[in-house]
């Protein structure tokens, strides 16, 4: 009598030991793929999907993207294969730009970025307080085009440059006006006469008309005007040629500067203070004192 137990197929039901001879699909019991053919159940998009709806969605997405994938050339790909690959990428993403490998390609990149075809196509920004000559504008545009500036770069560069030039010009103008104002204060009532003497000096010596105009318009700096007047004064008292310092026949006597008038005023007051003199002489000195006061203190 044998003690071996006879195990029937029915005894193994539900034990996980499937000896029925059916192919193993790799799916657990109760899987939604249990009714699918093994080939389909283990196929891509099916074997990883949680349910049939996900499998269908994944397949639909794959079908929609079909043809959009790009195969990257291998390390041994030739130049023709690489160029075709680059062309496909640019066809799918036109905003991408290839690195230029020639002068012609480089120029095309610059044009794509916004460099105009011709230098004249650059637009010059307007900045208050500065105006450029047409010749200089043409030179700047030509330089910008040669450097490969885009329209936006040219606009930004010119705005910065012109704004700085306008500020420098304004500062120079302010300094010159202050300088000339100090000179007029220094010369006082003699200023107009001295400017006239300098203008006559320049005319007599054949100076450029632009320089003479600058003197007449008070656009020459104070240091230069002092030097000019010194020359005019020396030539006017030198005995050669026509007088230039307002001392010739029929010319008015030179007007004193505030400093000169102050000096004479001091000398005159020393004669008046504490001194006795005839009334008519005192009247003459008092009148002269009033004249010197006006010259010494022209702003009062």
Where are the chain's structural domains?
79-113, 258-296
Are the C-beta atoms of 232 and 198 separated by less than 8 Å? yes
d(CA 41, CA 35): 9
DSSP 99: P
- Note the pLDDT of residue 276: 77
d(CA 74, CA 81): 10
- Note the pLDDT of residue 195: 92
d(CA 218, CA 225): 9
User: pLDDT tens per residue, the chain (300 residues)?
Assistant: 444 434 333 343 333 444 334 445 455 556 888 888 988 888 888 888 899 899 899 888 887 776 666 778 888 888 888 888 888 887 777 777 777 778 888 888 888 889 999 999 999 998 988 888 999 999 999 999 999 999 999 999 999 999 999 999 899 889 888 998 999 888 988 889 899 999 998 998 888 999 999 999 988 999 999 999 988 888 764 434 444 444 455 556 677 788 887 887 787 777 777 777 777 777 777 777 787 788 778 777
Within the chain, residue ranges assigned H as helices are 38-41, 52-64, 79-92, 103-113, 134-147, 151-187, 191-204, 209-216, 222-236, 258-272, 279-296
Residue with tokens 């010194």: 230
Q: Kindly state the tokens that stand for 163.
A: 């704004």
d(CA 44, CA 40): 8
Are the C-beta atoms of 236 and 200 separated by less than 8 Å? no
d(CA 103, CA 222): 55
Q: How far is CA 130 from the centre of its chain?
A: 14
């Amino acid at each position: 009598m044998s003690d071996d137990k006879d195990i029937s197929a029915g005894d193994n039901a539900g034990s996980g030991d499937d000896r029925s001879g059916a192919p193993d699909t790799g799916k657990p019991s109760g899987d939604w793929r249990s009714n699918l053919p093994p080939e389909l159940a283990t196929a891509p998009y099916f074997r990883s999907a949680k349910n049939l709806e996900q499998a269908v969605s994944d397949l639909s997405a794959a079908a929609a993207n079909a043809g959009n994938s790009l195969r990257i050339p291998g390390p041994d790909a030739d130049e023709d294969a690489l160029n075709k690959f680059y062309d496909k990428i640019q066809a799918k993403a036109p905003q991408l730009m290839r690195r230029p490998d020639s002068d012609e390609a480089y120029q095309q990149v610059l044009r794509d970025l916004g460099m105009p075809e011709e230098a004249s196509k650059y637009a010059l920004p307007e900045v208050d307080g500065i105006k450029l000559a047409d010749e200089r504008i043409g030179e700047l545009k030509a330089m910008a085009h040669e450097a490969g500036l885009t329209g936006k770069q040219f606009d930004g560069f010119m705005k910065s440059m012109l704004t700085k030039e306008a500020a420098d010009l304004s500062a120079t103008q302010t300094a010159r006006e202050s300088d000339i104002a100090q000179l007029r204060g220094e010369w006082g009532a003699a200023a107009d006469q001295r400017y006239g003497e300098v203008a006559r000096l320049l005319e007599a010596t054949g100076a450029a008309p632009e320089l003479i105009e600058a003197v007449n318009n008070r656009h020459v700096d104070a240091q230069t005007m002092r030097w000019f007047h010194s020359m005019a004064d020396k030539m006017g008292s030198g005995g050669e040629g026509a007088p230039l310092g307002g001392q010739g026949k029929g010319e008015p006597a030179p007007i004193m500067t505030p400093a000169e008038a102050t000096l004479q005023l001091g000398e005159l007051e020393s004669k008046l203070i504490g001194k006795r003199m005839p009334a008519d002489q005192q009247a003459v000195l008092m009148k002269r004192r009033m004249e010197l006061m006006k010259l010494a203190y022209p702003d009062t």
